[in-house]
Every structure is written in C-alpha cells, then in structure tokens.
C-alpha cells in the first residue's frame, strides 16, 4: 500500500497544519495495519497444515492394512518355498485388495488428487506381487517390501502431519519427523517380517542368517524407501518406494545369502 502524497493530503484534508498532521497519522496507521494484514496472510499461505482429517486417516489405514494382514501369516505354518495353494492365496488377496481400493479410491483421494489412482494402486500391489513372482522361494523379500510400503510409508505421513517440526533441506514439503518415522517404523516391521520368515520351521532349507544380516535386510530397504519417498518427483511414491525397497533387499540377500 503506497503512502498518500503531500499533494493528495492538501486536496483531501485541507491545508492547515493541524489537519495535515492528523491526516498523516491516520494514513500511517492505515499503512501499518495493511502491512500486518499482508504479513499474516503471507504466513497463513506458507503454514503447513496440522492434524489429519477423516480422508487422510482412511488413506493411512489403506496403506497399513495390507501389512496387518501379512502378520496373519505367522499363525499359519507354511512351506518355504511356498506351496501353490499359498501362492494362489497371495495372488487372489492382492488382486482383491487392489480392485477394492481402485474402485473406492475417491473416498481416500486428497483434494485434487484423483488422476494418479491407477499408479497408486498398481504401484503398491505390483511391487509386492513382482517379488512373490520373481522369488517364490524367498518370500521374505516380498514381505520386506510390503512392510516398508505399509508401515514405513504409512507412518511417515501420519507422524509428519501430527508432529510437524523441522523440514528436510532437500524438500521443504517433508519433515524430519516423517522421515524418521518411515525409517524406524518401516525398518522395525521389515526386520520383524524378514526374521520371522527366515526362521520358519517348515522351510525346506533354513537360512543361516545372522542378526546383522537381518537388520540390514530390514532397515536398509526402509532407508532407501524413505529417501526416494522424500524426494520431489512426478512418479507416484508407491512405485518409487516399492522399487527402491525391492532392489535394496534383493541385492543384500544376494550378496550375503544368495537367492534360492
């Protein structure tokens, strides 16, 4: 807001000194008030939203629920390599979940975010299914990718929006709280998934894994997933996270244990 000129004061308020002084004081207060309003408006534009609405909570549950279902595998003895029956159950459940989310995506879509429905659903499902298809004798690899996607990516947004805090230097839209939640929660659950499957008593050949190998196969894929998820990209994060986690855990297993 520009301050009124001396000539404008004379025209609008008269020429006597008392009137001009009062007018200048009024004008200055109007300018200051406008600056405050402008500053407050600017702050509201850059402020990051706090909390989670109902849509975002449903979205988080969509991310996490497949990982919760995978936990049920612990209570059902199964062979390793997996049997054709369990193989078919994996495929059927994954396709069923993917179709359900695809056709009900509007309920979890963020505002103005309905165009990447196919990428989001296919990226999630295909990341896990491709590991099952490529490594049927090493189902722990698929479970690690699932854990990173479900618990890592799912908790990152949940914690990031609730806690907020300092932003990442390479992406101001992401926070350190979300990044660390991704690594800690996703890494812990991926480690647990990997450990439980490699210790499967029904396995034909028990994998002689050490604690260090288990931790590497759990946390390094989570770190890789957190890094690619936090970067700016036009590629859906489910695709990026699934690909990064799958490549990382596959390479670690190949270098330390070999692929069955």
Q: According to the model, what pLDDT value does residue 207 have?
A: 66
Q: According to the model, what pLDDT value does residue 31 have?
A: 47
Tell me: the pLDDT tens digits for 42-95?
A: 433 333 445 677 778 888 888 898 898 888 888 777 777 778 888 888 888 888
CB-CB contact of 148 with 245 (8 Å):
yes
Q: According to the model, what pLDDT value does residue 37 have?
A: 41
Pairwise pLDDT comparison (6 vs 225), residue with the higher score: 225
Burial 166-185 (b: 16+ CB within 10 A, else e): ebeeeeeebbbbbbbbbbbb
16, HSE (Cβ side, Cα atoms, 13 Å): 2
Tell me: the pLDDT tens digits for 104-136?
A: 887 777 666 655 788 888 889 999 999 988 888
In whole angstroms, how far apart are CA 202 and each of 74, 80, 96?
A: 12, 7, 27
Q: According to the model, what pLDDT value does residue 43 have?
A: 39
Q: According to the model, what pLDDT value does residue 200 have?
A: 76
Q: According to the model, what pLDDT value does residue 46 have?
A: 37
Supply the DSSP string of 158-202, one letter for each residue. HHHHHH--SEETTEEEEEHHHHHHIIIIIHHHHHHHHHHHHT-TT
For residue 219 the two structure tokens come to: 């946390």
Q: According to the model, what pLDDT value does residue 25 have?
A: 57
Tell me: the pLDDT tens digits for 142-198?
A: 999 999 999 999 899 889 989 989 999 999 999 999 999 999 999 999 999 999 888
Q: Where are the domains of the chain?
A: 54-257
- Summarize the confidence of residues 25-36 as an average pLDDT: 50
CB-CB contact of 44 with 52 (8 Å):
no
């Amino acid at each position: 807001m520009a301050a009124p000129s001396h000539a404008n004061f004379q025209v609008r308020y008269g020429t006597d000194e008392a009137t001009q002084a009062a007018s200048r004081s009024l004008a200055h207060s109007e300018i200051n008030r406008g600056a405050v309003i402008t500053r407050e408006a600017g702050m509201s534009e850059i402020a990051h939203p706090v909390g989670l609405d109902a849509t975002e909570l449903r979205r988080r549950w969509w991310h996490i629920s497949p990982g919760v279902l995978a936990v049920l595998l612990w209570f059902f003895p199964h062979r390793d390599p997996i049997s054709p029956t369990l193989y078919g159950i994996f495929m059927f459940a994954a396709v069923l979940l993917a179709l359900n989310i695809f056709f009900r995506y509007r309920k979890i879509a963020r505002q103005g975010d309905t165009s990447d429905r196919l990428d989001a659903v296919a990226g999630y499902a295909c990341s896990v299914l491709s590991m099952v298809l490529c490594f049927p004798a090493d189902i722990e690899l698929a479970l690690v990718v699932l854990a990173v996607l479900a618990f890592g990516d799912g908790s990152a947004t949940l914690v990031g929006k609730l806690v907020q805090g300092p932003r990442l230097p390479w992406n101001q839209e992401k926070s350190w709280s979300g990044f660390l939640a991704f690594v800690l929660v996703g890494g812990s659950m991926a480690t647990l998934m990997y450990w439980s499957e490699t210790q499967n008593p029904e396995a034909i050949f028990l994998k002689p894994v050490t604690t260090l190998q288990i931790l590497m196969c759990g946390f390094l894929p989570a770190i890789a997933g957190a890094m690619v998820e936090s970067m700016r990209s036009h590629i859906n994060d489910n695709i990026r996270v699934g690909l990064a986690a799958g490549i990382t855990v596959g390479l670690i297993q190949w270098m330390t244990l070999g692929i069955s």
